[in-house]
Structure 1
């Protein structure tokens, strides 16, 4: 006999956990299926160097309405970031150094040119249909960079500033950068602060545990799902082990790059199917490095493809040493477990720095992520992604990858999870639940 639930939620990242909590709080029976042996998805508070560190998404901001609501709901806050005293940047084959103010004055005019039309393209960032985005949705990050006709030095400076968010200039669309900038009034520096500066006090796990602790959903860990079928009367979710879960509705909150491993019936619209088949192109690595001694706080950047570490900054002092967080645009460019290789890479910026240990999680080879955060290919952000946010019969999709404003982040994941829950609750009420 197959148990019947009101809702089956597939995927226990922030979107899935929020959807399960909100629906179960309405009194509906909910089962939450998660492939991993933990909740959190591409957020992952783990242990390294004798303390907790964030191996995945980590940052929040008081201007992000959805995550800020969750933080205040559970009495949580943010930790102040460590301010860099020096910045080092690789440009035109040479590493340069200066104060944070000097680096900002160098980058400011370049990024302003690169994203000059952000507000015009997205005058109302919450409504992608408010402006004609047809032209920019054909444009890649590389197309925009080439069109500026910069000197080799200026091009590398701009590239290095963007590199922590870039894997492929030829595959990632400019529209997503413009949308991100538009959410902070066209100010890219403000966007970077909101997206990647302030960690959650106590870590993402603390917030996830608080949300899950309030949920009445039945949680099934280590339960990968291989098929989801809507037959018009309900939804059947089939697990890798062959078990079947029957529900009246389903929320699918899986990373975009894993959806191709799940048979969804009826088939999604062709633009969505194409996006799922192509996958998003971000294959980055977040790498933690413990270096000897409490060194002066610094930040560093390098153009994509010209150095294995494309962004680095000091995050914490810990037990007399310093923890440096690095982003590598191409996860295959460096072995995160090779301390000697990591030390060589960092010494290009800070001569004499001594690497004691490293730690990372490979999201690219992880079968339940198959990549880092989503950055959409040209055309998908304003065409295929909005289709995924619509109801697909008794199935609703959720997740930061398809968020309307906070695309690629925790805030967007929470937004879509809550929105999916509201839609299904209305549908259930209409069914006479």
Structure 2
């Protein structure tokens, strides 16, 4: 926007109405700014997307708060009286919740066998921590995993090859589920920030209730696909497929995948301080498959089902999410390379493949599902993936560097810009608050923010 031009329409343009965009925009509007939110989709929420068509909530995007202790997001949910259910993701850890484990032959493991498996993983994790601490720049998570397993094989009390292979597969699946990436694409330090503090919770009414309530009183323009952002010292000009908007500043909250795809042209080009982190960080694919059955065929009290060895090569973990709908429902994941493969299948083919994997464990007791929900986030033109990860050669510092600001007028927010808790809604929320603080030049009060939302709803 050239100097001496017309007064901009807005103080701040926020691009994207997901959790980070809604948070930044609401904080700025509450501070008295003229704010407009430009959203490419026909709805608010971004990668928080709840399907309620069946009469209950199915979260097709984000589902969890990953650790509620000292969580600002949990404090927001509590302040807004949003119902939650405790559901700590047991398959990311080898034990800790009642899990039905099946061995490489598809047989249900005894309690003693499962306990041995948990102990094996704990031993391997200690070796993995040591390998990571000794890693060199450029090492991948696959590199350090193989070094850790090699060390276990050389011990006097070495595990047998079959048990080593099961641990190798578990580590691969853990990376796929947590990062949406192949283990060889993740940096050796890619999971350094992956600590979960406290219980995890899900949202029986749907997770997208949070961004929808935050954005309720905002000026949100839907189906506005941003094509170009031009900046100068005195402001920004944002061009969409439907019009042009001008403001003193802009907050860009589109997913990392959109930035990596070059879907938005920046003029002038982004400086290396921001462009290089965009190039280095990775965008993973993490898809969900919900299968609703006419009756329950798995054991009461089982929190999750896990297949080890060959039966779990692709479909390896299923979670009992029946408590959300009151109907027998399992959730499984297709992530990383397998997640991209599933996107090439029809819904019928993907569901049939997942059911066939269950029948290798439970046999004819598995009925045909009566309903299914299958996501394809890697094909979504407004996300180009599910969430970010630290790809080989990147670092957690790249997340925060991506936030900018650029030339004092352009800011970035979203889960990919929050190094302390990337790839989470908590990170998106925190990054939106940080962007608002940088625009305003002062701290924001998130407790007052939540109270303001409550008062506006009365």
Equivalent positions of 1:27-106 (< 5 A) are 27-47=32-52, 49-60=54-65, 61-81=67-87, 85-89=98-102, 91=104, 97-99=109-111, 103-106=117-120
* Superimposed CA distance per residue, residues 48-74 of structure 1 (whole angstroms, 9 cap, x where no aligned partner): 654211111111132252212211221
Aligned to 1:396, the other structure's residue is in SS state: strand
Residue of structure 2 equivalent to 1:138 = 138
Q: 1:206 aligns with which of 202, 206, 209?
A: 209
Equivalent positions of 1:3-14 (< 5 A) are 4-14=9-19
Q: Offset of 1:388 from its aligned partner?
A: 1.2
* Superimposed CA distance per residue, residues 282-315 of structure 1 (whole angstroms, 9 cap, x where no aligned partner): 2231111112313323321557996332322111
Residue of structure 2 equivalent to 1:219 = 220
Matches of 1:179 and 1:255, distance apart in 2: 20
Q: Offset of 1:347 from its aligned partner?
A: 2.0
* Superimposed CA distance per residue, residues 96-123 of structure 1 (whole angstroms, 9 cap, x where no aligned partner): 63457565334222223323588xx7xx
Work out whether residues 286 and 360 of structure 1, in 8 Å CA contact, stay in contact via their aligned partners in 2: yes
Structure of greater Rg: 2
Q: Offset of 1:86 from its aligned partner?
A: 3.7
Work out whether residues 2 and 244 of structure 1, in 8 Å CA contact, stay in contact via their aligned partners in 2: no
Q: 2:305 aligns with which of 274, 278, 299?
A: 299
Matches of 2:116 and 2:163, distance apart in 1: 15
State yes or no: 1:426 paired with 2:432. Answer: no
Structure 1 residues 177 and 155: CA distance shift in structure 2, 3 A: farther
Q: 1:164 aligns with which of 173, 177, 191?
A: 177
Aligned to 2:189, the other structure's residue is in SS state: helix
Q: 1:332 aligns with which of 325, 328, 340?
A: 340
Q: Offset of 1:198 from its aligned partner?
A: 1.6
Residue of structure 1 equivalent to 2:448 = none
Residue of structure 1 equivalent to 2:453 = none
Matches of 1:25 and 1:426, distance apart in 2: 15
State yes or no: 1:18 paired with 2:23. Answer: yes
Structure 1 residues 95 and 278: CA distance shift in structure 2, 3 A: farther
Residue of structure 2 equivalent to 1:368 = 382
Report the TM-score, using the length of structure 1 for normalisation: 0.82
Report the TM-score, using the length of structure 2 for normalisation: 0.78
Work out whether residues 302 and 311 of structure 1, in 8 Å CA contact, stay in contact via their aligned partners in 2: no
Work out whether residues 235 and 248 of structure 2, in 8 Å CA contact, stay in contact via their aligned partners in 1: yes
* Superimposed CA distance per residue, residues 352-387 of structure 1 (whole angstroms, 9 cap, x where no aligned partner): 322313212210001011111211212323353332
Work out whether residues 140 and 172 of structure 1, in 8 Å CA contact, stay in contact via their aligned partners in 2: yes
Work out whether residues 156 and 303 of structure 1, in 8 Å CA contact, stay in contact via their aligned partners in 2: yes
Q: 2:415 aligns with which of 379, 400, 411?
A: 400
Equivalenced residue count is: 399
Q: 1:353 aligns with which of 366, 374, 395?
A: 366
Q: Offset of 1:274 from its aligned partner?
A: 4.4
Work out whether residues 95 and 349 of structure 1, in 8 Å CA contact, stay in contact via their aligned partners in 2: yes
Structure 1 residues 321 and 28: CA distance shift in structure 2, 3 A: closer
Matches of 1:19 and 1:305, distance apart in 2: 45
Matches of 2:194 and 2:326, distance apart in 1: 37
Structure 1 residues 400 and 422: CA distance shift in structure 2, 3 A: same
* Superimposed CA distance per residue, residues 312-339 of structure 1 (whole angstroms, 9 cap, x where no aligned partner): 2111157874111111122233334433
Matches of 1:27 and 1:137, distance apart in 2: 46
Matches of 1:292 and 1:105, distance apart in 2: 36
Aligned to 2:328, the other structure's residue is in SS state: strand
Q: Offset of 1:281 from its aligned partner?
A: 4.5
Structure 1 residues 159 and 305: CA distance shift in structure 2, 3 A: same
Aligned to 1:384, the other structure's residue is in SS state: helix
Structure 1 residues 117 and 424: CA distance shift in structure 2, 3 A: farther
State yes or no: 1:175 paired with 2:189. Answer: yes
Aligned to 2:373, the other structure's residue is in SS state: strand
CA RMSD, 1 decimal: 3.0
Unaligned runs of 5+ in 2: 1-5, 91-96, 154-160, 444-458
Residue of structure 2 equivalent to 1:125 = none
Matches of 1:245 and 1:271, distance apart in 2: 26
Q: 2:264 aligns with which of 262, 266, 276?
A: 262
Work out whether residues 172 and 281 of structure 1, in 8 Å CA contact, stay in contact via their aligned partners in 2: no
